[in-house]
C-alpha cells in the first residue's frame, strides 16, 4: 500500500505496501469479468490496530498538522515532477492502494490508456482560492480498494480539517453494502454518475476505514485489534452509510469484549437508539440489565446477611469496606433506592440488637464462656459498620432513637465484666460524635434519652476505651458529648453538666472531660443570658396561653 499526500507545493509521502499471506491473497482473487467484491483485503497493521488505507498514524498527522509541508523556506521551491507509471500486469491479489503521486493539475481525460493502469485516480482539483489572491493549501489523499484498475466510481470525501480524500471504489460493492450509496447511485434514464461527493465529513479517517470494510466478508474479524472507542466511531459512520452488516459486526464485537472505565457509559449511550431497529441490541444490553432481575432490596439484604454472618475476620473486614464504599457512592440516587436501602439496613440493625441482647443475657451469668465475649465484639463491630452506612445514607436518626430505647441492654451492662462490655460503648461514642458534628439530627427527646440511658455506661467503660480501643479519639468523643448536651434546653444542660461535674471530681481522667461544654453553659447561665427573667416569664406565659 502506498500513501501520497500533497499540498499546493506538491510534497509526496510514500509508504511501502504491507506483506500479505499467500493464502489470504488467493482466497480474495476476483475472477475476470466478475463483480469487484472480494473476500479479504490486505490491511496495513499499525500500533493502534488495522487501517484499510492510508495508515491512521499518517492520516491523523495530516489532520493535526495540515500545513506541515509548507513550513519550509519559501525560496527553495522544487519544480513539479510528473511521475510516469509504467504498465504492469494485474496484481495476484486485490489490494488497497493509493496513487503514486498527487498534484494540483486537473485529472487526465478518461479515455487515456494510462488511466487504465493507475493504482487509483488522481487527486481532485484544488478548492477555489480565497479572496486576496492567495490559494488556501489543501491536503489531498488518494485511496484505492480491491483492484484499482477496475474501479468504476470515484468518491470524493471533504473533511472539516481541510483534507480531501479521493477513493477509487467499485460501484457494485458499495451498492451491495451501503443503503446510502445505493440510493445515491440509483440509476435513472441518464448515464451513471462517475463521482459522488460528500462534504463536511466529521471523521474522515473512520469514513475511509468503513468503506474499506465493505470489501471484507467478515468485518468482525477485522475489528479484533481495534479498541472499543474506535469501534464505536466505526459503528457510527456505518449507521450513517446504511452499512448494516458492519453495524451488526460492531455490536457483536462490543458484546464480546470487556468494557473498561468510561467505556460502558459510552457503549450504552451509543446503542440505546438502536433498540427499535433490527440490529440485535438485546444481547448487548443484557450485560447491564435483566428482565428477570431480583428485587434490589432482596439482593442487598442477601449481601448484608452474608457479611454479618461471616466467620473469617479478614474476609469480613474487606467486604465491609467494599460494601460501605459502594453504598457511599450510590448515596445520591433519587430513584427510590434509598428507601429500599433504609428498610434493609434497619432490618439488619434490629437483628444485630436482638443477638446482642441475648449475648448480654448469657454474659451476665457466672458460667458464661469466653466465646460469648468474642461474639459480643463481633455484633458490636457489625452495628458500628451499619451505623457508618446509615450516616453515609443520611438516615441515621432512626438508629439513634432505636439505641436510646435499649434500656434493658443498658441495665444488663453493669452486670458484665468491663472486658466483655466496653466495645458496646463504642456505639454510644459514635452516636455522640455524629450528633456533635451535625451528621445526625435526632429529636430533642431522643438526644435527652440517649444521654440519660447511655452516658453513665460510657463513663464506666471510659478507661477501657482509652486503653483497648485503637480507633477511640478521646478529644472527638468529649467534644461530641459536650455539643450534644448543649443542644438541650438550659434546664437539662444544668442537670447533665452538674451530674458530670460530680463524677469528674471522683474519677478524674477515667471520666470524659466536658470543661468546654461546662464553660458555655456557665456563660449562658451567669454571664450573658439572652433574656432576663421577666422577659422569659412573659414568653413562657404567652406560649401556655396560645397552647
pLDDT in tens, 308-327: 999 899 999 999 999 999 98
Between strands 153-159 and 5-6, the pairing is unpaired
DSSP 336: S
Estimate to the nearest angstrom the gap between the alpha carbon of 296 and the chain centroid: 21
For residue 300 the three cell numbers come to 442487598
Helical pair 474-486 and 490-507, crossing angle rounded to 10 deg: 150
Determine the average pLDDT of the residues in 223-231: 91
Q: Is the model's pLDDT at 507 over the cut of 50? A: yes
289 SS3 class:
coil
**pLDDT higher at 386 or 105:** 386
CA distance 375 to 67: 75
Cβ–Cβ < 8 Å for 211, 146: no
Range name among 13-22, 135-144, 208-217, 250-259 with the lowest pLDDT average: 13-22
The answer, yes or no, to whether residue 52 has pLDDT greater than 80, is: no
460 to each of 281, 415, 417, 427, how far by Cα in Å?
A: 64, 12, 11, 14
Taking 80 as the threshold, does the pLDDT of residue 535 lie above it? no
Is there a contact between 268 and 236 (Cβ–Cβ < 8 Å)? Answer: no
Mean per-residue pLDDT for 518-537?
77
Q: Residue 66 CA to chain centroid, in angstroms? A: 34
Decide if pLDDT at 485 tops 80: yes
Averaged pLDDT of the chain: 76
pLDDT for 362: 92
Mean pLDDT, range 399-419, rounded to an integer: 96
pLDDT at residue 92 tops 90: no
Q: What is the distance between the terminal CA atoms of the chain, rounded to a whole angstrom? A: 94
**Per-residue confidence at 355, pLDDT binned at 50, 70, 90?**
very high
Query: For residue 124, which of 102, 93, 145 has the smallest C-alpha distance?
Result: 102
Cβ neighbours around 251 below 10 Å, total = 22
Beta bridge partners of 156: 166, 197
294: CB partners within 8 A, 6+ apart: none
Helices (H) and strands (E) in the chain, counts: 25, 7
CB 99 within 8 Å of CB 144:
yes
pLDDT at 163: 83
Q: At a CB cut-off of 8 Å and minimum separation 6, what does 220 contact?
A: 249, 252, 253
The pLDDT of 211-239, averaged and rounded, is 89
Give the three cell numbers for residue 8.
499546493
- For the ranges 165-179, 392-406, 481-495, the lowest mean pLDDT is seen at 165-179
Tell me how far apart the alpha carbons of residues 243 and 382 are, in angstroms, rounded to a whole number. Answer: 57
Residue range 211-231: average pLDDT?
88
Band of pLDDT at residue 281, cut at 50, 70 and 90: confident
Instruction: Please determine, for residue 403, whether its predicted confidence score (pLDDT) is greater than 70.
Output: yes
Confidence (pLDDT) at 272? 86
d(CA 408, CA 521): 31
Cell of 270: 451509543
pLDDT of 117 strictly over 70? no
Contact 240, 206 (CB under 8 A): no
Mean pLDDT of 143-148: 79
Other residues' Cβ atoms within 10 Å of the Cβ of residue 200? 7
**What average pLDDT does range 323-338 have in this prediction?**
74
Beta strands in 145-189 (DSSP E): 153-159, 163-169
Query: What does the alpha-carbon distance between residue 29 and residue 81 come to, in Å, rounded to a whole number?
Result: 34
Gap between the Cα atoms of 210 and 194, Å rounded:
21
Cite the beta strand spans of 249-350 per DSSP E: none
pLDDT at 250 over 70: yes
Residues facing 142 on adjacent strands: 166
Q: Mean pLDDT throughout 197-202?
A: 87
Lowest mean pLDDT among 20-34, 209-223, 307-321: 20-34
Q: Is the pLDDT of residue 180 over 60?
A: yes
Q: How far is 358 from 379, CA to CA, in rounded Å?
A: 11
Report the percent of the chain where pLDDT is more than 70. 68
Q: Are 45 and 52 in contact (CB under 8 A)?
A: no
- Out of 76-85, 157-166, 453-462, which region has the weakest mean confidence (pLDDT)? 76-85
Report whether pLDDT(344) > 70: yes
User: Residue 199, SS3?
Assistant: strand
pLDDT at 546: 55
pTM: 0.66
What mean pLDDT comes out for the span 282-298?
80
pLDDT tops 80 at residue 466: yes
Nearest to 273 by CA among 322, 331, 232: 232
Does 151 have pLDDT greater than 50? yes
Question: Which DSSP symbol is given to 523?
Answer: I
Say yes or no to pLDDT of 107 above 50: no
- Length of the chain in residues, anyone? 547
Question: Are β-strands 5-6 and 139-144 bridged in parallel, bridged antiparallel, or unpaired?
Answer: antiparallel
pLDDT at 211: 93
Q: Are the C-beta atoms of 6 and 12 separated by less than 8 Å? A: yes
Residue in 160, 165, 198, 116 with CA at minimum distance from that of residue 4: 165
Cα 428 to Cα 194, 458, 473, 502: the distances in Å are: 85, 7, 13, 21
Rounded CA separation 484/478 (Å)? 10
Amino acid at each position: 500500500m502506498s500513501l501520497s499526500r500533497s499540498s499546493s507545493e506538491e510534497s509526496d509521502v510514500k509508504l511501502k505496501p504491507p506483506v500479505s499471506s499467500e493464502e489470504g491473497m488467493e482466497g480474495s482473487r476476483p475472477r475476470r469479468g466478475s463483480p469487484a467484491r472480494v473476500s479479504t483485503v490486505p490491511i496495513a497493521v499499525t500500533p493502534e490496530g488495522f487501517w484499510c488505507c492510508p495508515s491512521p498514524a499518517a492520516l491523523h498527522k495530516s489532520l493535526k498538522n495540515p500545513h506541515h509541508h509548507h513550513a519550509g523556506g519559501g525560496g527553495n521551491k522544487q519544480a513539479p515532477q510528473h511521475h510516469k507509471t509504467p504498465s504492469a500486469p494485474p496484481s495476484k491479489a486485490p489490494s488497497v492502494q493509493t496513487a503514486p503521486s498527487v498534484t494540483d493539475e486537473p485529472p487526465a481525460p478518461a479515455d487515456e490508456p494510462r488511466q487504465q493502469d493507475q493504482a487509483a485516480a488522481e487527486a481532485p482539483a484544488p478548492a477555489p482560492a480565497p479572496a486576496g489572491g492567495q490559494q488556501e493549501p489543501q491536503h489531498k489523499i488518494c485511496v484505492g480498494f480491491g483492484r484499482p484498475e477496475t474501479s468504476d466510481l470515484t468518491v470524493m470525501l471533504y473533511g472539516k480539517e481541510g483534507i480531501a480524500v479521493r477513493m477509487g471504489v467499485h460501484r457494485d460493492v458499495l451498492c451491495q453494502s451501503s443503503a446510502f450509496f445505493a440510493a445515491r447511485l440509483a440509476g435513472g434514464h441518464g448515464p451513471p454518475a462517475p463521482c459522488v461527493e460528500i462534504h463536511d465529513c466529521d471523521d474522515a479517517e473512520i469514513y475511509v476505514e468503513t468503506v474499506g470494510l465493505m470489501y471484507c466478508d467478515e468485518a468482525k474479524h477485522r475489528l479484533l485489534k481495534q479498541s472499543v472507542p474506535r469501534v464505536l466511531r466505526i459503528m457510527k459512520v456505518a449507521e450513517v452509510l446504511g452499512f448494516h452488516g458492519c453495524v451488526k459486526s460492531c455490536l457483536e464485537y462490543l458484546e464480546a469484549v470487556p468494557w473498561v472505565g468510561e467505556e460502558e457509559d459510552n457503549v450504552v449511550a451509543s446503542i440505546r437508539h438502536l433498540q427499535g431497529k433490527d440490529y440485535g441490541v438485546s444481547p448487548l444490553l443484557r450485560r447491564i440489565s435483566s428482565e428477570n432481575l431480583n428485587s434490589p432490596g432482596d439482593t442487598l439484604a442477601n449481601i448484608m446477611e452474608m457479611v454479618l454472618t461471616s466467620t473469617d475476620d479478614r474476609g469480613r473486614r474487606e467486604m465491609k469496606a467494599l460494601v460501605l464504599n459502594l453504598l457511599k457512592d450510590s448515596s445520591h440516587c433519587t430513584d427510590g433506592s434509598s428507601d429500599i436501602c433504609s428498610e434493609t439496613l434497619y432490618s439488619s440493625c434490629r437483628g444485630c440488637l436482638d443477638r446482642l441482647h441475648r449475648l448480654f443475657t448469657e454474659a451476665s451469668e457466672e458460667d458464661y464462656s469466653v466465646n460469648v465475649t468474642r461474639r459480643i465484639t463481633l455484633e458490636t463491630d457489625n452495628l458500628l459498620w451499619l451505623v457508618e452506612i446509615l450516616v453515609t445514607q443520611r438516615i441515621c436518626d432512626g438508629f439513634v432513637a432505636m439505641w436510646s430505647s435499649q434500656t434493658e441492654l443498658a441495665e444488663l451492662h453493669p452486670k458484665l465484666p468491663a472486658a466483655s462490655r466496653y466495645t458496646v460503648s463504642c456505639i454510644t461514642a459514635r452516636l455522640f460524635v455524629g450528633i456533635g458534628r451535625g451528621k445526625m439530627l435526632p429529636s430533642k427527646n431522643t438526644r435527652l434519652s440517649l444521654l440519660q440511658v447511655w452516658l453513665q455506661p460510657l463513663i464506666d467503660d471510659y478507661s477501657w476505651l482509652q486503653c483497648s480501643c485503637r480507633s477511640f479519639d478521646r478529644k472527638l468523643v468529649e467534644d461530641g458529648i459536650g455539643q450534644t448536651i448543649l443542644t438541650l434546653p438550659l434546664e437539662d444542660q444544668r442537670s447533665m453538666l452538674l451530674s458530670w461535674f460530680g463524677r469528674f471530681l471522683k474519677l478524674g481522667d477515667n471520666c470524659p472531660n466536658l470543661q468546654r461544654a461546662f464553660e458555655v453553659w456557665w456563660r449562658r447561665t451567669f454571664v450573658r443570658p439572652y433574656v432576663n427573667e421577666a422577659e422569659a416569664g412573659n414568653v413562657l406565659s404567652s406560649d401556655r396561653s396560645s397552647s
